[in-house]
C-alpha cells in the first residue's frame, strides 16, 4: 500500500513535469496532456513490453490515465504559480525516480527474471518516461547528460536487489532502497555531482 501510494504521487508529479515541458515548447492542451502522460507512464509501458508483462499497467488500471491527464490539465491552469513549488517538485521528482525503480524491480522479480534484468527493469521504469518526454520535445535527454539520474536509478535497483538477496524483509528493503536512493539524488543535486563528459575537441579527428 505504501509503495502504491508513492507510485500515484510519482505519476502525478511526473505528469506535471511533462506538462511544464510541453508548455515551454508552446504545445496546445492536447500536446500538454500527451507529454504529461508519456512522461508518467512511458517507462512502465516500455518495461512491460520488454518483459512481456500484459496487460500494460495503464490498461489494467485505466484510472492512471485519469490521474495523469488531470495533473497535466491542472498544471496548465496554475502554471504561473508553480515556480513557488520548485523545491517540492525536485523532491517529488526524486521520489518518483526511486519509487518507479523499485516498482520496476518488483515486476521483473515476479516474472522470475535474472537479477541483472531486474535491476535493468527498474532503470527503464525510472528513466525512460523522461527520456521519451525530452525526445518528443526535441532536446537532448537529461538522462544522457552529466546529471546523476540514471546512476541513481541503477544504485537504487542494485541496492534493492542486494537487500533481497541478503534476505532482508521486503518492506524494509523497499524503505531502505527508496530512502537511500532519494538521499543520493538530493545530494547529487545539492553538490552538483556529475559524471565526466567529453568535449568535441577530443573527437575532432574523427570528423
Render pLDDT for 148-203 as a digit per residue (tens, 0 to 9): 889 999 999 999 999 999 999 988 999 999 999 999 999 998 888 887 776 655 55
Residue matched to cell numbers 527508496: 178
Torsion over CA of 23, 28, 32 and 38, rounded to 10 degrees? Answer: -130
d(CA 49, CA 120): 14
**All three cell numbers of 178:** 527508496
Residue 34 CB neighbour total at 10 angstroms: 19
| pLDDT tens sequence across 51-81 | 999 999 999 999 999 999 999 999 888 877 7
9 to 12, 28, 88, 194: CA distances (angstroms): 5, 25, 12, 27
pLDDT-derived band at 27, boundaries 50, 70, 90: very high
The three-state (H, E, C) secondary structure of 51-89, written as one string: HCCCCCHHHHCCHHHHHHHHHHHHHHHCHHHHHHHHHHH
Asked if residue 206 has pLDDT above 60, the reply is no
**All three cell numbers of 193:** 555531482
pTM for the model stands at 0.88
Q: Do 95 and 10 form a contact (C-beta atoms < 8 A)? A: yes
Amino acid at each position: 500500500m505504501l509503495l502504491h501510494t508513492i507510485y500515484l504521487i510519482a505519476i502525478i508529479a511526473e505528469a506535471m513535469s511533462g506538462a511544464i515541458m510541453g508548455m515551454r515548447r508552446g504545445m496546445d492542451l492536447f500536446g500538454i496532456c500527451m507529454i504529461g502522460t508519456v512522461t508518467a507512464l512511458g517507462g512502465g509501458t516500455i518495461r512491460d513490453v520488454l518483459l512481456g508483462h500484459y496487460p500494460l499497467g495503464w490498461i489494467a488500471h485505466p484510472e492512471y490515465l485519469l490521474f495523469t491527464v488531470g495533473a497535466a490539465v491542472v498544471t496548465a491552469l496554475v502554471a504561473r504559480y508553480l515556480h513557488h513549488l520548485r523545491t517540492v517538485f525536485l523532491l517529488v521528482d526524486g521520489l518518483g525516480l526511486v519509487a518507479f525503480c523499485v516498482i520496476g524491480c518488483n515486476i521483473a522479480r515476479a516474472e522470475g527474471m535474472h537479477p541483472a534484468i531486474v535491476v535493468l527493469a527498474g532503470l527503464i521504469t525510472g528513466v525512460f518516461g523522461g527520456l521519451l518526454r525530452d525526445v518528443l520535445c526535441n532536446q537532448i535527454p537529461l538522462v544522457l547528460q552529466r546529471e546523476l539520474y540514471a546512476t541513481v536509478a541503477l544504485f537504487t535497483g542494485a541496492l534493492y536487489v542486494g537487500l533481497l538477496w541478503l534476505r532482508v524483509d521486503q518492506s524494509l528493503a523497499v524503505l531502505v532502497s527508496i530512502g537511500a536512493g532519494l538521499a543520493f539524488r538530493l545530494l547529487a543535486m545539492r553538490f552538483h555531482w556529475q559524471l565526466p563528459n567529453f568535449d568535441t575537441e577530443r573527437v575532432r579527428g574523427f570528423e
